[in-house]
Structure formats: structure tokens, C-alpha cells
């Protein structure tokens, strides 16, 4: 006569109890009460019609039947776990709100490396300059530009906003070292050009023609089109420098006191994976250097 298999959860509770030979430690591992463990073991014994444990003072001992079932159940549960681990995982989404320029100039060109590492995690990006409270908004990650993580009690700095001046190669030939003949392409808030002029020991900022843009990416697009000189964090124009769309004025980057920083719900494993990846990417050194001919 073929006996009906007992419920899988009964077998799992039995295997854990047999491994520990202690109801309290088994209950702790399973996240239930010792009473619940005892109840399910008794239900399993009733189901099978044989005792599985000898109840001694403050300890358990397997019966002959219990030893047989423990040997088999351990193997079966291990095999089942290995099979489940190999099954394709459901695709999870990381919902991101990020500054537009960082999205287009830095994040999107690098996403393929994240997908290679985490093929079952998708990324949904909202390009916005609006600050959000992750507790109130449907986002997992916020990436922002501000002074020392402004408006965020807990944040991780991705990279400091240390700016360089860039322009189109077509404009380079007509440039002078003090950029006295340049048109400045400004990101309206904040405008880092005064900081850059001061750090370089240059004057005449107020005498130069300026065009202001609501987003840094627009100023960079104008620079690529040969309309003037823009300031940007070096990491945000690395791809444009490498592709030859922009060239860089000489000199060290200038610290502005601002940073690109990240705030995330790290409780979810896929969000933590994305956050770890993006911090790792941000820490990578710039490989490409490009200067004007008169450097």
C-alpha cells in the first residue's frame, strides 16, 4: 500500500528540528514559536503513524524511523532548494528619480554593465530636478545635485562636483588661454562660473557674454554645437571627451562645494544591488584626458 506524502511544511519543520535536536533553536531558525514546532511534529507523527523523536528532559533524540526520515528529508530539501535557486527569477524594477544631466550624460551610457551583472533587474528612470521624499513617493532611489547632500539626512556621495571648462573642437582654434573672447554657457542654478574664474585667478567674468540654461545638459548641448564654453563635472562629460564632441580647457578641476549624491531604500535586495553598483561606477577614475592645443 502506497502511503500519502505528508505536507512539505511538516517535513521542513521536522528536518530543522532533527538537525538541531532542540525545539527552541528550530523555532528560532523557522521564525515560529516552539509550541508551533512541537504541534507540527506531532501532526507529522500522526500522519505517518510512527514516533520520530524520543522526548527526553530538555532534549530530543531521533527514533530509528526518525533517523531514516531525516537522512532522506535533508537530501530532498537540499535538492529542492538547489533547483529553486536555478529557476529564472521574476524581473524586479528599480525606480529612480535623478537629475536630467546625470541621467543622459553619465547613468544611461553605463546601464549595460548593470544589466550584465543583474539581468533580472530592470531600471525605470524619471529625469527630474525635483527633490522627493522616498517615504512618500513611488521611487526606490533618488540621485541629486546639491551642497553636501542638502535636504537629505542620509545620503551617499557619488562624486564631488569638481568642474572643468569644455567647448567644441571647432571652437578651440579661436580660443585664447584666458577665454576673454568666449561666450559663457551657464547652468542657471547654481552658476559655477564665478567660482571657476576666482580659482583660475582670472577677471572679466562680468564683461563676457553669457547664455543661461535651465538644465546643464542644455548648456553642454550648446557647447557641442560650438556656441560657447560650458562648465561641467568631469565625470559628466567623460563620454563626450572620449568621442571627440568636446575638448577640455587646461588646468585642474575646480571644487564647487556641491556633490552628486544618492539616497536609496536599501532594504530591498535589488535596490541595494543597484546602489552598490552605482557607487562602484562613480568611484572609477577618469581614463580620458583632453586639452586645448595651447595647454
236 and 125 both lie in a single domain: yes
Max Cα-Cα span within the chain: 99
2 within a domain of the structure (yes/no): no
Is omega for the bond preceding 190 within 30 degrees of 0, making it cis? yes
Strands (E) located in the chain: 53-56, 59-62, 92-98, 121-127, 141-146, 156-167, 184-187, 210-213, 229-233, 247-248, 254-264
Number of domain units in the chain:
2
Query: Of 86, 103, 125, which residue is a domain's last?
Result: 86
The pLDDT assigned to 187 comes to 83
- Write out the chain's pLDDT in tens, 295 residues: 567 888 899 999 999 999 999 989 999 999 899 999 999 999 999 999 999 999 887 788 999 999 999 999 999 999 999 888 887 767 789 999 998 999 999 999 999 999 999 988 999 999 988 887 787 888 999 998 887 555 555 688 899 989 999 999 988 777 766 687 789 999 877 888 888 888 888 888 888 888 999 889 999 999 999 999 999 999 999 889 999 999 998 888 999 888 899 989 888 889 999 999 999 999 986 654 444 444 4
240 within a domain of the structure (yes/no): yes
The pLDDT assigned to 287 comes to 53
42 within a domain of the structure (yes/no): yes
The pLDDT assigned to 132 comes to 79
234 and 131 both lie in a single domain: yes
50/226 Cα distance (integer angstroms): 86
User: Residue 77 belongs to what domain range?
Assistant: 8-86
272 and 238 both lie in a single domain: yes
CA distances 86 to 79, 81, 244, Å, are 11, 9, 44
149 within a domain of the structure (yes/no): yes
Grid coordinates given for 225: 554645437
Nearest to 89 by CA among 119, 123, 117, 115: 119
107 and 219 both lie in a single domain: yes
116 within a domain of the structure (yes/no): yes
222/213 Cα distance (integer angstroms): 10
> Reduced to 3 states, what is the DSSP secondary structure of residue 229?
strand
The pLDDT assigned to 2 comes to 66
The pLDDT assigned to 145 comes to 84
216 and 104 both lie in a single domain: yes
Amino acid at each position: 500500500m502506497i502511503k500519502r506524502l505528508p505536507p512539505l511544511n511538516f517535513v521542513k519543520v521536522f528536518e530543522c528540528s532533527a538537525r538541531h535536536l532542540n525545539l527552541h533553536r528550530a523555532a528560532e531558525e523557522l521564525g515560529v514559536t516552539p509550541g508551533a514546532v512541537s504541534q507540527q511534529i506531532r501532526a507529522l507523527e500522526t500522519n505517518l503513524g510512527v514516533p520520530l523523536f524520543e522526548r527526553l528532559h530538555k532534549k530530543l533524540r531521533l527514533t530509528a524511523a526518525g533517523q531514516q526520515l531525516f537522512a532522506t528529508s535533508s537530501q530532498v530539501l537540499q535538492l529542492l532548494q538547489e533547483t529553486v535557486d536555478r529557476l529564472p527569477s521574476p524581473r524586479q524594477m528599480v525606480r529612480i528619480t535623478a537629475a536630467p544631466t546625470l541621467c543622459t550624460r553619465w547613468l544611461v551610457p553605463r546601464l549595460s554593465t548593470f544589466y550584465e551583472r543583474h539581468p533580472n533587474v530592470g531600471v525605470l528612470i524619471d529625469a527630474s530636478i525635483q527633490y522627493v521624499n522616498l517615504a512618500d513617493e513611488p521611487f526606490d532611489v533618488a540621485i541629486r545635485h546639491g551642497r553636501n547632500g542638502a535636504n537629505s539626512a542620509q545620503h551617499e556621495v557619488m562624486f564631488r562636483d569638481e568642474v572643468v571648462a569644455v567647448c567644441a573642437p571647432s571652437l578651440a582654434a579661436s580660443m585664447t588661454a584666458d577665454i576673454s573672447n568666449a561666450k559663457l554657457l551657464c547652468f542657471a542654478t547654481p552658476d559655477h562660473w564665478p567660482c571657476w574664474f576666482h580659482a583660475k585667478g582670472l577677471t572679466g567674468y562680468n564683461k563676457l557674454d553669457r547664455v543661461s540654461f535651465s538644465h546643464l545638459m542644455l548648456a553642454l548641448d550648446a557647447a557641442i554645437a560650438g556656441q560657447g564654453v560650458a562648465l561641467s563635472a568631469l565625470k559628466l562629460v567623460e563620454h563626450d571627451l572620449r568621442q571627440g564632441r568636446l575638448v577640455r580647457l587646461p588646468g585642474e578641476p575646480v571644487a564647487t562645494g556641491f556633490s552628486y549624491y544618492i539616497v536609496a531604500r536599501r532594504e530591498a535586495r535589488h535596490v541595494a544591488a543597484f546602489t552598490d553598483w552605482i557607487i562602484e561606477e562613480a568611484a572609477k577614475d577618469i581614463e580620458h584626458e583632453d586639452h586645448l592645443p595651447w595647454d
